Amino acid sequence: MQVWVGDWPLHWSVKYPFVVLASLGLLFLSYQYLVRSTVIGQVLNGRRYPRHSVETPVPVEPTSDVVASLQGVSKRYGKLDALTRVDLDLKRGELLALLGPNGAGKSTAISLWLGLNDADTGVVRLLGGAPQDIDRRLGLGVMMQDVELPKDLKVHELVALSCSYYSRPMTVKQALERAGIVELAHRPYGKLSGGQKRQVQFALAICGRPKVLFLDEPTVGLDLQAREAMWANIRALLREGCSVLLTTHYLEEAEALATRVAVLAKGQVIAAGSVDEMRSLVSRRQIRCETTLPPVEVRRWPGVVDVSENHAQMSIVATDAEGVVRRLLAADPQLSRLEVKQAGLNEAFNELTREAA
């Protein structure tokens, strides 16, 4: 081409652009007719065999009150099955407590909902779409257990930065007041205690007015007063229509806050329902009384699972509460302050996970 164009009676400043444009045109035509139209080209461009995402199975469209769901989801890391055909959903305005021992798959489930990982099979939905969509993420608030934030920034600067990511956030003042950290506003983040850092992280999680809030061990490191304040904040968010997914090792926290509970073990949901439904899954009862009987003796009785003593008060976990109570009264006529109640979430969780082990 250069030889042919070189014979033109024009200066090279005019002929050179023509050579470049003509060369690009020839390359495009070559690709279009010699590569893109071939089978190989169609495969590479996904036109002959469309690329399938992990969401290939036709999902059941979520009802209006389901804001996050896992539908038949499995996730594998090497030889480890982190999740196996998990079905789980979070409904509007509820708090779902996701419980399970370490390694049960809780962190994997959260990472899928946050769009940090892809499922191997199944469908992951957040606010009606894929969690990777930016529009979905704008409705999300997250407070993870392990968080690294700039240590030199002051608290109000961190909150202002986080607010800037959202279209309709709280004001910095509102977020600070909501989290109860107004007095920390001008302190560097790196100078705060562990509990104070958790309170700041909570402010960052809620400042965007989230529709869905993920809380991973939110009250770790908090003193009793700060913990109760965060519980009150969470309840207020629920009243406002926010949906909360909570993971916690404090089972009394789940018992106090949860609308529903799901228990994971070895990557599978082994039980799900309300707190009362979880309690009803176990036959154990808790017996409390004041007695002079030695705990070591009571522990050997049939139907007794566990015995603990606090001063003169004995606490007994039993599978045969009626039989144990009759024996208590026969063995100690002076027994007083007898109380029998259904086992708590802690006992239910322990029995469910022990059966799954």
Going from N- to C-terminal start, the domains of the chain cover 2-44, 66-278, 282-356
Residue 310, beta-bridge partner list: 313
Q: Flag residues of the chain having pLDDT under 50.
A: 2-3, 5, 35-63
Q: What pLDDT does 40 receive?
A: 43
Task: Give the span between the Cα atoms of 133 and 53, in whole angstroms.
Answer: 14
- Identify which of 40, 24, 98, 33 has the alpha carbon closest to the alpha carbon of residue 257: 98
- Identify which of 140, 159, 171, 174 has the alpha carbon closest to the alpha carbon of residue 243: 140
Q: What pLDDT does 194 receive?
A: 92
Task: Give the span between the Cα atoms of 100 and 317, in whole angstroms.
Answer: 21
Task: Give the span between the Cα atoms of 104 and 357, in whole angstroms.
Answer: 11
Residues 122-158: pLDDT tens digits? 999 999 899 998 888 889 999 998 888 999 999 999 9
CB 114 within 8 A of CB 140: yes
Q: What pLDDT does 46 receive?
A: 43
Q: What pLDDT does 160 receive?
A: 97
The topology under which CATH files domain 282-356 is: Alpha-Beta Plaits (3.30.70)
Residues 266-282: pLDDT tens digits? 899 988 989 888 877 67
- Identify which of 189, 223, 221, 191 has the alpha carbon closest to the alpha carbon of residue 203: 189
Q: Which two tokens stand for residue 313?
A: 């008060």
Q: What pLDDT does 140 receive?
A: 93
**DSSP line for 36-56:** ITSHHHHHHTTSSSPPP-TT-
| CATH 3.40.630.30 applies to domain 66-278 | no
Q: What pLDDT does 288 receive?
A: 93
Q: Is the four-CA dihedral 199, 203, 206, 212 of positive or negative sign?
A: negative
Diameter of the chain measured on Cα atoms: 124
Q: What pLDDT does 61 receive?
A: 41
CB 357 within 8 A of CB 337: no
Residue 99, beta-bridge partner list: 263
